[in-house]
């Protein structure tokens, strides 16, 4: 079950600092290349556990962990993004992930994800609590109560588990990860390559149609 090769599947996790960079950048970058985004929130925790790791590699490997925060400062400066190192890392983002599943095909998905990411990586606040998430939903003109209820109900819980299991089956081992058809790209550093790949495929596909 793979997406149309002319789209980009964007697999991200709200607790992941490198996902923060891509969430903030992807809508503008994809619009420039006219590549539609398929939003795919998932949880990294079960993925890491399936690989035998009890936590994020940035927590488990102290050398890499120390580096990552310096790298984030520089990357955010490069992309013109605000940045505060979260006092809790990685933050649990189960509730906003379920909300992102609800909104995945809706026009508000991008703005919602950016606001949740800013809650974590700019405002340094808990992202898993209803009272933090409700104001974001309201500000987007949505019914916070309805979406919160849906996000806490069993069907949406199961959908997030399923989506996370699908991530694992597709060979995803970190976030963000992008797919263009079956082609996998890992890390914010590959977002531009993935978009270029998708747009080149669109050109190839439309010129082959033109020849028919």
Q: Count each helix (H run) and each strand (E run) in the chain, helices first.
A: 10, 4
Least distance from its own copies to the Cβ atom of residue 64, Å: 5
Tell me phi and psi for residue 186, to 5 degrees.
-110, 130
What is the chain's Cα-based Rg?
A: 17
Q: Measured from the CB of residue 57, what is the shortest distance to its own copies in angstroms?
A: 9
Closest contact distance (angstroms) between CB of 128 and its own copies is 27
Beta carbon nearer to its own copies, 52 or 107: 52
Pairing status of strand 8-12 against strand 37-41? parallel
Closer to its own copies by Cβ: residue 139 or 189: 189
Which CB, 160 or 191, lies closer to its own copies? 191
Q: Give least dist CB 67 to its own copies, A.
A: 6
Residues at the site binding its own copies, with contacts judged by CB under 8 A: 51, 61, 63-64, 66-67, 70-71, 74, 78, 171-174, 183-187, 189-190, 193
86 backbone dihedrals φ, ψ, rounded to 5°: -65, 140
Find the shortest distance in angstroms from Cβ 155 to its own copies: 29
* Partner residues linked to 184 by β-bridges: 179
Q: What share of the chain is helix, strand, coil (3-state, %, to 5)?
A: 60, 10, 30
Q: How far is the CB of 112 from its own copies (least distance, A)?
A: 29
Judged by CB, which is closer to its own copies: 148, or 172? 172
Which residue's CB is nearer to its own copies, number 34 or number 66?
66
Which residues is 31 bridged to in the sheet?
Answer: none
> CB-wise, 103 or 174, nearer to its own copies?
174
* Omega prior to 208 cis, within 30 of 0: no
Contact assessment for residue 94 and residue 160, using Cβ atoms and an 8 Å cutoff: yes
Tokens of 47: 């993925």
The distance between the two most distant Cα atoms of the chain, rounded to a whole number of Å, is: 58
């Amino acid at each position: 079950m793979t997406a149309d090769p002319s789209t980009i599947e964007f697999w991200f996790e709200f607790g992941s600092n490198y996902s923060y960079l891509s969430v903030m950048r992807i809508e503008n970058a994809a619009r420039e290349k006219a590549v539609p985004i398929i939003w795919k929130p998932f949880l990294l925790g079960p993925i890491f556990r399936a690989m035998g790791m009890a936590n994020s590699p940035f927590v488990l490997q102290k050398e890499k962990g120390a580096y990552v925060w310096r790298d984030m400062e520089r990357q955010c400066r490069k992309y013109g993004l605000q940045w505060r190192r979260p006092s809790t890392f990685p933050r649990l983002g189960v509730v906003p992930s379920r909300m992102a599943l609800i909104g995945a095909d809706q026009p508000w998905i991008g703005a919602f994800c950016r606001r949740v990411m800013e809650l974590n990586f700019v405002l340094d606040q808990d992202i898993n609590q209803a009272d933090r998430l409700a104001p974001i939903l309201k500000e987007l003109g949505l019914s916070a109560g309805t979406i919160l209820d849906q996000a806490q109900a069993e069907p949406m819980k199961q959908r997030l588990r399923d989506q996370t299991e699908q991530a694992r089956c597709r060979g995803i081992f970190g976030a963000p990860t992008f797919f263009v058809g079956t082609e996998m790209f890992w890390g914010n550093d590959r977002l531009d390559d993935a978009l270029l790949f998708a747009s080149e495929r669109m050109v190839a596909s439309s010129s082959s149609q033109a020849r028919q």
